[in-house]
Amino acid sequence: MMRLGPTLLLGVLLLAIVSIGAASREQGDTPDRETTPNRPAGLAAWQKIYSVMSHPRCINCHTASDYPEQGDDRHRHLFNVVRGPDGKGVPALQCATCHRQANADSTGVPGAPDWHLAPLSMRWQDAADRILPSSAVCKTVSDPAKNGGLDGAALIKHHQTELVKWAWKPGLRNDGSARSVPPIDYEEFMVATREWVQAGMPCTK
C-alpha cells in the first residue's frame, strides 16, 4: 500500500475542510462560530472592526436614542435634530436639510450619499449614550435579524458604500480643522472585515 507523505496528507485534509465548508455554504449555512478553525483570527479581526465602529465617525449615527450625535465628544446633535420614522429626520428638518452628497468644507457640514441614522436594531450604544461592549456590538452586526438581513457578503458590500467610506474622509469642521478618523485605515478595515466574515463572523461570549 502506498504511504502518503505528510504534505500530501495535509493537502487531502485541507481539501476535505474546503469541500465541507463549500457544501455547508451551498446549503445556506454559516460556518459553526464556536468551532471554526480560524476563530482566533476572526476574533482578532473583529476587534479591529470594533475599533472603527466605536469611533465617533461611525457610532454617532448608531444611537439608541431619538437623535444622532456630533463631534468627538459625541454630544447630542444640535438644532433639535430628531431621528424620524426612517432615520432621515422629519419633513421640515431632514438630514438632507444640511447634509448633502459631499462634504461642504467651506461651511463645515459633512456629507455623503444617503446620509441617515442606522435603524434602532443596529444601535451600538445604550439608552444613556454609552458605547456597548465589543461582544454586544458583534452579536448585533452578525445577526441578520438586526443588521437589515445582511449575510457576510452583503456586510462586505455595505462596508464599501460611500457612507461608510466617508468615515475616512470626513472633511473639515466649521473652524477649518480636520475631523478625526478611525484608528485604522480603510484598507485595513476591509481586510479585517473579510477575515472576520471568512472566519464565520465569530463573537466572544
> In sequence order, which residues have a C-beta less than 8 Å from that of residue 177 and are 6 or more positions away?
none
Which of 91, 127, 153, 177 touches another protein (CB under 8 A)? 91
Instruction: Write the binding mask 149 to 178 for another protein: x where contact by CB under 8 A, - elsewhere.
Output: -------------------------x----
Which single residue is written with the C-alpha cell 444622532? 68
Decide: is 101 part of the binding site for another protein (CB under 8 A): yes
88 vs 194, beta carbon nearer another protein = 88
Q: Transcribe 83-136 into DSSP letters.
A: --TTSSEETTEEGGGT--SS-BTTTTB---TT--PPPGGG--B-TTSPBPPHHH
Q: Tell me the residue length of the chain.
A: 205
- Residue 107 CB coordination number (10 Å): 9
- The site map against another protein for 27-66 (x = CB under 8 A) is ----------------------------------------
Residues contributing to the site for another protein (CB under 8 A): 78-82, 84, 90-94, 96-98, 100-102, 104-109, 111, 174
